[in-house]
Structure 1
Amino acid sequence: MKKYIKFLMTGGLLALSIGCKKDLSLINKGAYTSDTYFTSDVALNQAVVATYAGLLHTGMWAREWYFTFDLLGYDAKNNQPLGGDLLQLAQYNFGPDQNQVGETWAALYQIIARANVVIDRAQVWKPDPSKPTEATDQTQYIAECKFLRAYAYFQLVNLYGRVPLRTHYITLPTPADINAPRSPVADIWAFIEQDLKDAEAGLPVTYSDANYGRATQGAAVALLGKSYLYEKKWASAQTELTKLTQAPFTYSLAPVYNDLFDDPNQDDGTKNPETIFQVMNQKWTDWGIGNQYYVFGGQETWGGKATHSDRAQEYGFNDWNNVHITTTAVKAFTYPNPQNPSANYIDPRAAFTFYGDAASGGQTQYCQQCSTGPVDFPFASKGYEWLKYEYYNKVASFGGPQSGINGQVIRYADVLLMLAESYIQQGNTGAVPLGLINQVRSRPSVNAPLYTSLGTQTDAMAILMRERQLELTGEQSRYFDLIRWGIAKQTINAEMQIENGTQPFQDKNVLFPIPLAEKNANSAVAKDISGDWN
């Protein structure tokens, strides 16, 4: 899939920027329209991959996504180099005109718009009867775009609440179409559920190596189960997520935790049988690929074919070092031993998550695979720094954005913990949820002491919350977890009060503000905003 997304960063815009029929007295008969372009398997495939390419656009996974939700979830805190709009996020000091708030909205709706085009055009395309694979491809393309559309609406409804529900491609939109009103949250969730049910029915369980990275049936099941969990439909979440633990699915935990965040080990099914859906990145090697700094707005324009991530460069302690891991996140890895609560235990996942000192459990060396040999991490001068998504085990510094490490969206450990939560939320704290949590702790490279009991429902949820924090630190999960559990304000304010003396989270921060650009462009939305926020 890396090849596909890499290709579409230059070619994909062509496939989807065409299509609006215009009433012109002079018609260029050589020009494409939405009726004449999407008439082959090749063209539709290009359009599907262009929809995936939206995951790397401004506001999304090439750069802004991890900053936004690591900072807001207080996994990360700003270092001195961090400034401007990102600093506003770190301080919860932003409004409707904040860049990332608007960019993420725009990128998600771009994915939706592209998905709508593909679904519409693929449904009217007539596959060649002499080519049996084309009918299969038609079903797959529609299902892939329904998955991506559901993913986009999942993020929109969680971040902004009521949003316009744009469900199909409109060749010539009217003013009423352009100024679509905000839909009830229940309607958006219902639309997400149906898209994911359709995607589950139409997607394959696996792909050939050439198509690795495309959304699978397992990805649709996982996102549908996650949607049910977020909607508090516990029994439905349990039923859906359980599917992933059974045939035909063969997911399991990656034996070595860091293989999930290693290029190329993350793409090796033997070393990483855990990933269910990830955003694919291609390592930048030279300017022939594209611009090394495309993440600053060069997608599909001056960036060329570059599709790498700059997270390693931005977070790396020997590079730009714009953020630190929070002390709160570090301290979470030390907790009472499940088998001897009177003694503290340092979770081994600490050494896969951050650099630190021996007392914290953090990794104390880097450059383990460098020709010069291992180097002691300078904790005295650096403090706690990020290791996850970094590759300082291979080089001492990066020299610019170039990481090919994929972004984990949903992986099997996440599914096991969500499944455990679905049981606990129904009052079941017995052997099944206990076994699911212990399964995550039993990863060979972690091998943490197992719980013998989850206790009461309150106790079980506390254990589950901690497990999700430790397992998924720095994976943009905690912000969403704290919001859906209803404890974001009290948790983040308490943690930030200890570290920097502030309590910036306000009641309104449970949702993002509606972006100023949307208010200016959509009169129906502009009339339906309370307190200049949401």
Structure 2
Amino acid sequence: MKKYIHQLLLIAGLITTFSGCKKSRLDLVDQSAYAYDTYFTNIGALNQATIASYATLLHPGLWAREYYYIFDLMGNEAKRASFLLGAEQELGDYSFGTNNADLSALWSSLYRMIFRTNLVIDRAAAWNPTATSDRAKLNQYLAEVKFLRAYAYFHLVTLWGDVPLYIDYQTTIQNNYLSRSPAADVWKQIEKDLTEAEETTELPVVYPAVELGRATKGAVIALLGKVYLYQKKWGLAQSSFEKLMNTPYTYKLDPSFDNVFSTVNQNTPENIFQIMNQQWTDWAIGSPYYMFGNGAEQVGKQTHSGRAMEYGWNDWKNVYISNSAVKAFTYPDPLTGNSYTDPRARSTFYGTAASGGDTMYCQQCAAGAKNFPFDASDPQGDYRWKKYEYYNLVEKYGDPKSPINGQVIRLADVMLMLAEAYIQQGNTGDAPLALIDSVRSRSHAVLYANLGDQTNAMKILMRERQLELCGEQCRYFDLLRWGIIKQTINAEKAVEPGSGTQPFLDKHLLFPIPDVEKNYNPNVAKDIKNGWN
């Protein structure tokens, strides 16, 4: 697979046409040439095209680097340190405009993912394999790329609203100046892709070890449930999520919360879909897409490598965990009402004992190494990220390459979304209580005896998602879909040291259409209101 991937990353967006001399018996067509008409006629080539679609998850704007900055900063789970400048600084204080490089990269990479998945779907339709095994694999690859296309459009419609809807490769080639489609049509296409993928019998429930990282049927169902939840289709969301709690699915909460964010987290039974650093390195996906989008320091073909180093308090320390995120871990005890500090604090950040954060690092370093106390005497009282870090194993990283896989969807997330689907339908009884308490029990947090009425149950659910999924790029999306993002962000920023502002404006409910798109597509440009969206 490795020897093909670099050429494939070029041909995924390339159509080669040939013209030349008079036809004769000497005119031969090289069937192995990287040409649109002749190359994608065997299962190996279509597998390569499928893998090239996964590769876009590691492109600029996505999980190579910017994705975690965008949503941790804008969800106010991270805040900038003095080292953080440029596009990322703008995200944290909501001063970004239509030329923000990170948001532009996100838009571009999502459409690149769509372009590549459309190519696979187009070429698969043109090839009619005779071997039963080839047909089965082809159907599997189609389900995988429909999952990826749905993932891309899910982000586009959630963040930008009405967006161009490219679903046909030939149309894209002939007319890549499509106007924006209504958000309702985009949601409908997402549901169609995921429903068809789920119905594909050839899409595995589990993969052999060498193929870990590919989208499973469980990943498809989880994303479909999430799509229903975001559209407030509570009953459909419930039905989807409930499937994952029963056979043939064997997902379980990892007994160790810390293990979910460790260097061996590819083996946790909680995984539903991950950004597979180690596995995708073996696929050779990562090499051209180092975190800065260039060819620097590609030793080991790093993939999702930047977060640990950039968030690392003993390394680049570009961000802190926000004060609001730290304070959220202290709340009234569910049983007594007294002040209570959630034990997940110790797994999420380094800080003082009083805050609940971990006060020591390098506790599992090489023999002879000592434990190091974390210095929480920062004059601003700022604490540092521990989740997705591995300072328990090393004193410093020294290089921006982390083997820790990024969690996209995991079981605890699904369990809390299922609990929310119950609560939103007026069920605040045993079913959602058991799900919330199961997630809390894993970390030895005090359990709830009951959830109270629907309003109180939603408050509990919202806090559970904030604490359990802190630093996993979920909170921004949650606040947005709950309709409370403006008041929440402004209230938190108003009391945040060094901020004291209320930066979230009504226009921020949607991302701005990037200049790169506005300047390229006149049909999109003429539909933009107030120069924003």
Structure 1 and Structure 2 fold alike (TM over 0.5): yes
Secondary structure of residue in 2 paired with 1:276: strand
CA distance in 1, matches of 2:116, 2:469: 30
- In structure 2, the partner of 1:238 is 238
Q: Given the alignment, which residue of 339, 342, 364 partners 1:347? A: 342
- In structure 2, the partner of 1:361 is 356
Secondary structure of residue in 2 paired with 1:389: coil
Aligned residues of 2:213 and 2:279 also touching (Cα < 8 A): no
Residues 494, 94 of structure 1: alpha-carbon distance in 2 compared, 3 angstrom cutoff: same
Which residues of structure 2 form unaligned runs of 5+?
Answer: none
Q: Does the alignment pair 1:151 with 2:151?
A: yes
Residues 403, 28 of structure 1: alpha-carbon distance in 2 compared, 3 angstrom cutoff: farther
Aligned residues of 1:92 and 1:505 also touching (Cα < 8 A): yes
CA distance in 1, matches of 2:328, 2:421: 23
Q: Which amino acid aligns with 1:219?
A: A
- In structure 2, the partner of 1:467 is 464
Aligned residues of 2:113 and 2:152 also touching (Cα < 8 A): yes
How big is the shift at 1:80? 0.1
CA distance in 1, matches of 2:373, 2:330: 22
Q: Which moved more, 1:522-531 or 1:15-24?
A: 15-24
How big is the shift at 1:35? 1.7
- In structure 2, the partner of 1:454 is 451
How big is the shift at 1:471? 0.3
CA distance in 2, matches of 1:290, 1:153: 23
Residues 425, 452 of structure 1: alpha-carbon distance in 2 compared, 3 angstrom cutoff: same
- In structure 1, the partner of 2:434 is 435
1:16-38 C-alpha deviation (Å, 9 max, x unpaired): 13335467779994443212011
- In structure 1, the partner of 2:102 is 100
- In structure 1, the partner of 2:310 is 314
CA distance in 2, matches of 1:503, 1:72: 13
Q: Does the alignment pair 1:160 with 2:160?
A: yes
Aligned residues of 1:19 and 1:171 also touching (Cα < 8 A): no
Aligned residues of 2:302 and 2:401 also touching (Cα < 8 A): no
Residues 290, 100 of structure 1: alpha-carbon distance in 2 compared, 3 angstrom cutoff: closer
Residues 25, 180 of structure 1: alpha-carbon distance in 2 compared, 3 angstrom cutoff: farther
Residues 8, 363 of structure 1: alpha-carbon distance in 2 compared, 3 angstrom cutoff: farther
Q: Which amino acid aligns with 1:470?
A: L
Task: State the aligned residue count.
Answer: 517
Aligned residues of 2:68 and 2:307 also touching (Cα < 8 A): yes
Secondary structure of residue in 2 paired with 1:442: helix
How big is the shift at 1:279? 0.9
Residues 48, 451 of structure 1: alpha-carbon distance in 2 compared, 3 angstrom cutoff: same
1:382-437 C-alpha deviation (Å, 9 max, x unpaired): 73100001110000011120101111100000000000101111111111111111
Q: Which amino acid aligns with 2:308?
A: A
CA distance in 2, matches of 1:87, 1:455: 41
Q: Which amino acid aligns with 1:362?
A: G
CA distance in 2, matches of 1:51, 1:283: 15
CA distance in 1, matches of 2:286, 2:35: 29
Residues 24, 82 of structure 1: alpha-carbon distance in 2 compared, 3 angstrom cutoff: farther
Residues 302, 391 of structure 1: alpha-carbon distance in 2 compared, 3 angstrom cutoff: closer
- In structure 1, the partner of 2:370 is 373
- In structure 1, the partner of 2:13 is 17
Q: Does the alignment pair 1:254 with 2:254?
A: yes
Residues 301, 333 of structure 1: alpha-carbon distance in 2 compared, 3 angstrom cutoff: closer
1:453-508 C-alpha deviation (Å, 9 max, x unpaired): 11111101100000000000000000000000010000000000001201100001
TM-score relative to the length of structure 2: 0.93
Q: Which amino acid aligns with 1:197?
A: T
CA distance in 2, matches of 1:21, 1:428: 60
Residues 11, 299 of structure 1: alpha-carbon distance in 2 compared, 3 angstrom cutoff: farther
Secondary structure of residue in 1 paired with 2:167: coil
Secondary structure of residue in 2 paired with 1:122: helix
Secondary structure of residue in 2 paired with 1:403: coil
Aligned residues of 1:293 and 1:401 also touching (Cα < 8 A): no
- In structure 2, the partner of 1:78 is 80
Aligned residues of 2:237 and 2:418 also touching (Cα < 8 A): yes
TM-score relative to the length of structure 1: 0.92
- In structure 2, the partner of 1:481 is 478
Residues 384, 301 of structure 1: alpha-carbon distance in 2 compared, 3 angstrom cutoff: closer
- In structure 2, the partner of 1:323 is 319
Residues 527, 364 of structure 1: alpha-carbon distance in 2 compared, 3 angstrom cutoff: same
CA distance in 2, matches of 1:305, 1:17: 22
Aligned residues of 1:420 and 1:434 also touching (Cα < 8 A): yes
Q: Does the alignment pair 1:296 with 2:292?
A: yes
Aligned residues of 2:415 and 2:435 also touching (Cα < 8 A): yes
Aligned residues of 1:292 and 1:303 also touching (Cα < 8 A): no
1:214-233 equivalences under 5 Å are: 214-233=214-233
Q: Which amino acid aligns with 1:487?
A: I
Aligned residues of 2:40 and 2:123 also touching (Cα < 8 A): yes
Secondary structure of residue in 2 paired with 1:340: coil
CA distance in 2, matches of 1:362, 1:8: 46
Q: Which amino acid aligns with 1:182?
A: R
Aligned residues of 2:288 and 2:294 also touching (Cα < 8 A): no
How big is the shift at 1:248? 0.8
CA distance in 2, matches of 1:309, 1:375: 25
